[in-house]
Amino acid sequence: MYSFKEEHLMLEAEGARIPAVLTLPEDGSARWLVVIIPGSMFSDVDGNYPDAHMKPHMYADLARQLAQRGHAVLRYAKVSEQTGAVIVDKEQAEAHPIFVRQRYIAAAACRKLRELVPEGSRLAIAGHSEGSVHGLVISQWAEEEVRPDAVISLSGPAERYFNLFLQWADAEQKDGYVSLGPVKIAVERYKKVFECIRNGEEWPEEVRNDPGIAGAFGQMDKAGRQYMRDYDAIDPCQEIRKVPCPVLIVQGGMDQSAVLSNNAEKLFAARQEVDPERSRLAFFPELQHFYKRATPELSATESFALDGETDERVAEVISEWLEEIDSEDSTYQSQGASGKA
């Protein structure tokens, strides 16, 4: 294990100055460069959620665990006042819609990490949840500084965004209702919320006036609905087929987010159809969405509130997989040089 050090900085992207942290081995070396792309909601630079009062600190844990294994990691906050980000150019900040904006911020993070650790030759993108989808997309970009040598999907969805919620409702409903914390909502009304947003329709009166819907979704503005539609437009199983580099899919069996644990199997199956040799699935039955150890009796709210350290096996499997890529590439290059098939 390496000792590690951290440098706090501000990432400038999309008209904002965003808190970021570079974590790397104490001696400054780096076997791989890794950018962690955060998921949905407003997480701070460590992966905590000030608005939701949740502190999983997964991004900080994972960065430090990977640095202890010899890798340089850049993590960053989502753009929000609560996370310490500051808008410095309003026009530029609004140039891209909310969902699409995350890709350009992730791309800026890739460039920044290459700048900060210029001796690091290989780049991996590790996208968590929604961030996984952005990682799949930008891995296909032509820009050399952004395009990664490996992609890691952390608790990533396999379904279009709205389908996640519709399937979750079917799986979790009891007697025609789903529970969001202490609130119960009729399944059909819950589903209607997403169907209407997908189709660009207003919610019917009975949905709009449902106190459970109002508490869970509030009065969603135009930008919020557009974000959801932009997310819903992407089919992750189609995108993962297009990724031009090796892919590792990491999933916990106790994931109680809308990304149910079977999403990993679907992603893996889609990927194997086109590139079985460079596809890997790491499944941890007892881990939840942020890779904390969970037990079946925990509710989704209780599971999300777990704040222990992120299980080190996730960093271990990532590091071992990156080493395997290096080893396989070296073997390939050696065989090529000697004229062997």
- CATH number for the domain spanning 286: value is 3.40.50.1820
Verify that 78 and 205 share a domain, yes or no. Answer: no
Verify that 145 and 175 share a domain, yes or no. Answer: no
Q: Which residues of 110-136 are buried (b: 16+ CB within 10 A; e: fewer)?
A: bebbbebbeebebbbbbbbbbbbbbbb
| The pLDDT value given to residue 330 | 54
Verify that 201 and 114 share a domain, yes or no. Answer: no
* Single residue among 213, 230, 247 that ends a domain in this structure: 230
Q: What is the dihedral of CA 298, 301, 305, 310, to 10 degrees?
A: 60
Torsion sign across C-alpha atoms 172, 180, 82, 218? positive
Nearest Cα to 16, choosing from 62, 67, 65, 84?
84
Residue 57's SS3 state is coil
Note the residue count of the chain.
341
- pLDDT above 70 coverage of the chain, percent: 96
Nearest Cα to 63, choosing from 152, 158, 157, 156?
152
Q: Which residues contact 283 (CB under 8 A, 6 or more apart)?
A: 250, 251, 252, 253, 261, 264
Verify that 120 and 17 share a domain, yes or no. Answer: yes
104-113, 177-186, 270-279: segment of lowest average pLDDT: 177-186
79/43 Cα distance (integer angstroms): 9
| The pLDDT value given to residue 2 | 84
Rounded alpha-carbon distances, angstroms, from residue 142 to 96, 102, 139, 145, 220 = 19, 18, 8, 9, 35
Considering the chain, what is the average pLDDT of its residues?
93
Q: Which residues contact 84 (CB under 8 A, 6 or more apart)?
A: 19, 44, 45, 77
pLDDT tens figures, 282-321? 999 999 999 999 999 998 889 999 999 999 999 999 999 9
To 10 degrees, what angle do helices 98-116 and 130-138 make?
A: 70
Whether the per-residue pLDDT at 128 is higher than 80: the answer is: yes
pLDDT tens figures, 218-265? 777 889 999 999 999 999 999 999 999 999 999 999 998 888 899 999
Verify that 153 and 208 share a domain, yes or no. Answer: no
* Single residue among 187, 209, 230 that ends a domain in this structure: 230
57-66, 199-208, 269-278: segment of lowest average pLDDT: 199-208
264/249 Cα distance (integer angstroms): 7
Nearest Cα to 146, choosing from 175, 183, 172, 108?
108
Residue 92's SS3 state is helix
Banded model confidence at residue 339, pLDDT cuts 50, 70, 90: very low
For the segment 85-114, the average pLDDT, to the nearest whole number, is 97
| The pLDDT value given to residue 183 | 85
Verify that 186 and 100 share a domain, yes or no. Answer: no
Verify that 98 and 126 share a domain, yes or no. Answer: yes
| The pLDDT value given to residue 300 | 84
Rounded alpha-carbon distances, angstroms, from residue 101 to 47, 58, 86, 108, 131 = 19, 22, 15, 11, 12
For the segment 121-139, the average pLDDT, to the nearest whole number, is 97
Domain enclosing residue 95, as ranges: 4-159+235-338
Verify that 41 and 146 share a domain, yes or no. Answer: yes
DSSP state of 41: S
Spatial contact of 127 and 152, defined as CB atoms under 8 Å apart? yes
| The pLDDT value given to residue 258 | 86
Torsion sign across C-alpha atoms 183, 195, 164, 43? negative
Residue type, 164: L
Spatial contact of 123 and 35, defined as CB atoms under 8 Å apart? yes
Q: How many CA atoms lie less than 13 Å away from 52 in the CB half-sphere? A: 18
Verify that 90 and 114 share a domain, yes or no. Answer: yes
35/82 Cα distance (integer angstroms): 22
Whether the per-residue pLDDT at 171 is higher than 70: the answer is: yes
268/322 Cα distance (integer angstroms): 18
* Single residue among 230, 252, 272 that ends a domain in this structure: 230
286/317 Cα distance (integer angstroms): 16
- The alpha helices in the chain, defined as continuous H runs, are 58-67, 90-93, 98-116, 130-138, 161-172, 187-199, 205-208, 211-217, 222-232, 236-242, 262-272, 300-304, 312-338
Structural domains of the chain, count? 2
Verify that 61 and 210 share a domain, yes or no. Answer: no
Verify that 165 and 239 share a domain, yes or no. Answer: no
Verify that 137 and 81 share a domain, yes or no. Answer: yes
Banded model confidence at residue 335, pLDDT cuts 50, 70, 90: very low
